[in-house]
Amino acid sequence: MPGVTHGVGRAPANIALVKYWGKRDEELNLPVTGSLSISLGRLGSAVELKPTGGPTDAVWLNSAPLPLNSAFAKRASAYLDLFRPTPGHWYEVQARNTVPTAAGFASSASGFAALARALDDLYGWGLSTRELSILARLGSGSAARSLEHGFVEWQAGSEPDGMDCFAERVAAEWPALRVGALVLCSDEKPIGSREGMKRSVETCGFYREWPGRVAEDLALLKRAIAEKDFAALGAVAEANALAMHALMAATRPPIVYALPETVAAMRAVWAAREEGLGLWFTMDAGPNVKLLFDAQDEAAVRARFPAVQVVAPFA
């Protein structure tokens, strides 16, 4: 657009309640299965994008310049290659994350969703949310789910070009639902999700069972959401996360993200539930734990986990 010198975009992080693990197309980030997530409200990413004179892209994260050979800078530049008007057209990317980066809190999802929105703002494309979901997916698969708030379902699709592979908001509100983020380690994880998925698909003998498990869990989760059955939602999310981490452990060589603190948090959740507290957890590809509970139990959850950061996705 004439006179526009920069674009801005914001997007929430999302936590998959039924997970995405494995791709049918590496280049287009097309998943083997669908998935369903909940957004993290105010936690996520903001991006400001400006064309520059070069001679390279400049990528900043939380006000600090990133080396161009860092993982995020390389992925951001490779993504921007898809949209440069000319090969020598460079950008400055100012990104801010309010979740730990590369630690299993879907920072790449919110980051690439925000970057897709910033591109749309810069160039005035006026894309629909579905179209932005498709574009964001090219940067990070789970970014497809970070264009909306609330519950979001990512359709795996079947077309080779991926045009039927996008995410859409589930028409359901659940004001009492709470997500609690337990940051147990904010270090960058040793094996990225992209590499981990590829390794699991190629070497895990149990992977052939995964698509059927996901299909079953998606049906159960959507029923739980429709019926506002919190115990069912928590049970599906926790079991699906543990199944994904079991796949990782059965991969060759094994992928284990859990730390001793992770296992301790899991055991604390199970102990609380034995004592009657309606509390479940989920985990993405990382050591950190996300708690799922009802607003009425927030005080009890905070008493057991004083460091928890509570999000009300539908606030």
Which whole number is the average pLDDT over 23-50?
A: 95
- d(Cα 315, Cα 310) in Å, to the nearest integer? 12
Asked if the bond preceding 253 is cis, omega within 30° of 0, the reply is: yes
In the predicted model, what is the mean pLDDT of the chain? 94
For position 118, what pLDDT does the model report? 98
Cβ atoms of 302 and 177 within 8 Å: the answer is no
Range of lowest pLDDT (30-34, 242-246, 283-287): 283-287
> Helix or strand or coil: residue 26?
coil
pLDDT at 105: 58
Vertex 269 angle, CA 268 and 275, to 5°: 90
* Residue spans of beta strands (DSSP E) within the chain: 7-18, 23-25, 30-31, 35-52, 58-61, 64-65, 90-97, 151-154, 167-169, 177-182, 279-282, 289-294, 309-311
Alpha-carbon gap, residue 57 to 51, rounded angstroms? 9
- Is the model's pLDDT at 4 over the cut of 90? no
pLDDT of residue 87: 87
Region 170-195: mean pLDDT is 91
pTM of model > 0.75: yes
Mean pLDDT of 246-259: 97
Confidence tier at 102 by pLDDT (50, 70, 90) = very low
d(CA 283, CA 249): 14
Report phi then psi at 26, rounded to 5.
-70, -40
CA distances, 16 to each of 3, 107, 143, 163, 167 (Å) = 39, 13, 11, 22, 12
Question: What type of residue sits at position 55?
Answer: P
**Residue 39 in tokens:** 């957004």
User: Nearest-CA neighbor of 154 among 240, 40, 35, 244?
Assistant: 35
